[in-house]
Amino acid sequence: MKLYKWMSAPNPRRVEIFVAEKGIDIEIIEASDPANPGQLSAEFCGRYPHRRVPLLELDDGDWIGEAAAICRYLETLYPDNPLMGATPKEIAIVEMWDRLVEWEGLMAVSEVFRNTHKLFVGRGLAGYDREIPQIPALAERGEFRLRLFFEKIDEQLGGHTFLAGDTLSFADITAFCAIEFGISRRLAIPDECIHVQDWYGRVSKRPGVAN
């Protein structure tokens, strides 16, 4: 199997951390265009019509895209060290939190970044080969949406060690990647979200994350 990533993009990072935390050995390949690393290579886009990373190439030549689908596949293949829950209830709770975090946190950071960064002029949405304008008002709303996300997870983390319970799960990985990427774009964790600050410090020190 081969996993395709793109520089520090947060969605492939979700899979990279998942794989590292589970202790799975997978070849990781950079999908950017060597002549223009701000874009995915033409070869990659020619292979995968959805034009996004992460992408998992299987040994039989088939492909699986979408971070959650890739991780579900790997979790099923390698059930040790479960990161997506073990019982039906745990599985549903992890998925609930992962979806909340992806929709409310990762999308918020993405709205800000895609609609402001000069790299994405004319590329306001990922995955299309036609011009899509940036909309500055979406970036402004994205910052507000991110604030609501921080407040929500701060409350959850005030009563739980991790988002979906007592152990690290895929939902924490998604939240961590959204926040880490936001921080690299100057979208800091609010000072008053002390539970998020504490959780972020703990997650960032894990070997699968720090390395």
Ligand X SMILES: N[C@@H](CCC(=O)N[C@@H](CS)C(=O)NCC(=O)O)C(=O)O
Q: What is the closest distance, in whole angstroms, from the C-beta atom of residue 54 to ligand X in the complex?
A: 6
Nearer to ligand X by C-beta: 125 or 194? 125
Of 8-16, 71-79, 162-170, 195-203: span binding ligand X (CB under 6 A): 8-16
CA 64, CA 163: separation in Å to the nearest integer? 26
N- to C-terminal Cα separation, the chain: 21
Instruction: Using DSSP bridges, classify how beta strands 32-33 and 27-30 pair: parallel, antiparallel or unpaired.
Output: unpaired
Q: Check binding of 30 to ligand X (CB under 6 A).
A: no
Note whether 1 and 25 are within 8 A (CB).
Answer: no
Q: Which of 19, 40, 56, 189 is in the footprint of ligand X by CB under 6 A?
A: 40
Integer CA distances (angstroms), 42 to 33, 37, 55, 65, 100, in order: 7, 11, 15, 17, 33
Q: Which 41-100 residues touch ligand X, going by CB under 6 A?
A: 52-54, 66-68
CA atoms within 13 A on the CB side of 34: 2
Q: Is the CB of 11 or the CB of 116 nearer to ligand X?
A: 11
Q: Is omega for the bond preceding 54 within 30 degrees of 0, making it cis?
A: yes
* Cβ 11 to ligand X shortest distance, Å: 4
Give the DSSP letter string of 38-83.
Answer: EEE-HHHHHH-TT--S-EEE-TTS-EEESHHHHHHHHHHH--SS-S
Q: Which is nearer to ligand X, 11 or 156 (CB)?
A: 11
Instruction: Examine residue 5 and tell whether it contacts ligand X (CB under 6 A).
Output: no
The nearest distance, CB 128 to ligand X, in angstroms, is 8
Instruction: Report the C-alpha gap between 97 and 208 in whole angstroms.
Output: 21
Q: Is 126 in the site for ligand X (CB under 6 A)?
A: yes
Q: Which is nearer to ligand X, 97 or 193 (CB)?
A: 97
C-beta closer to ligand X: residue 68 or 153: 68
Please work out the total of residues on this chain that contact ligand X, with binding judged by CB under 6 A.
13
Residues from 169 through 188 that contact ligand X (CB under 6 A)? none
Binding residues for ligand X, per CB under 6 A? 6, 9-11, 40, 52-54, 66-68, 123, 126
